[in-house]
Amino acid sequence: MGIILIALAALVPAVTSLSKSGGRRAALNGLLGGIEQARAEAIKSSQATYVVFPAFTGGTQSTLDRYNYRSYAIFKDDAAIPGNVKQLTDWKSFPTGVALRAAAYTINGVSVDPFLSYLQDPGWSPAPPFTPDLAATAVFRCIKFNSNGEVAAPITAANAVYLGVFEGFVSNGSEVATTKDGSGNPSAVEYITMSQFTGRAVPADAVSNPTPTPGP
């Protein structure tokens, strides 16, 4: 019995680690699909589309836990009402224990601010309500595609947009990582890179650039 208990104790951390790794991969795959869906819709409809990420300055804890830096939906310019947008998909939340990176890091010598540099004011009037919690004040951050399927915003010095999914959560705009490297940065991270010119998104380690390494 003692041997079995020892074996189980050794097994639990490994299973937990695999579960979290699976959560990062699931979030990454969901983002890849959502980005391609938005890009294809922009080309098909000739209307700008947006992959929208909500961040919150306030709200209930349950809303923060489920949506803050942890979800996305697709919106499109409403051709019938210029200046307005309509929501095309429900809000899709990430698996428990993972969130989008909010802090800047360095890739190939270029400082990347993967979230805070997103287009924060698309000029929507009025701004759409956050339907899962109408009492919450959401700040919508977006990746915008034009009718050619190109990334219209944000425009970056690296000619690419990078998204990182890490183990942990974001509180008041600061990352709280479950696992960290020697410099205190999140060490369990998956990345996506999107070409500014084609809008195509792929895992960062599937392109010529190496996987981004979090900077200080």
Mean pLDDT of successive 10-residue stretches along the chain, which has 216 residues: 54 43 91 96 96 88 94 94 91 95 72 58 76 88 93 81 90 89 83 90 71 50
The pTM score is 0.83
**pLDDT digit string (tens) for 39-69?**
999 999 999 999 999 988 788 999 999 999 9
Contact 196, 117 (CB under 8 A): no
How many Å apart are CA 173 and CA 176, to the nearest integer? 10
Q: The domain 17-206 is classified under which CATH number: 3.40.50.280, 3.55.40.10, 3.30.1330.40, 3.40.50.620?
A: 3.55.40.10
- Rounded to whole angstroms, what are the CA distances from 138 to 65, 86, 180? 13, 16, 28
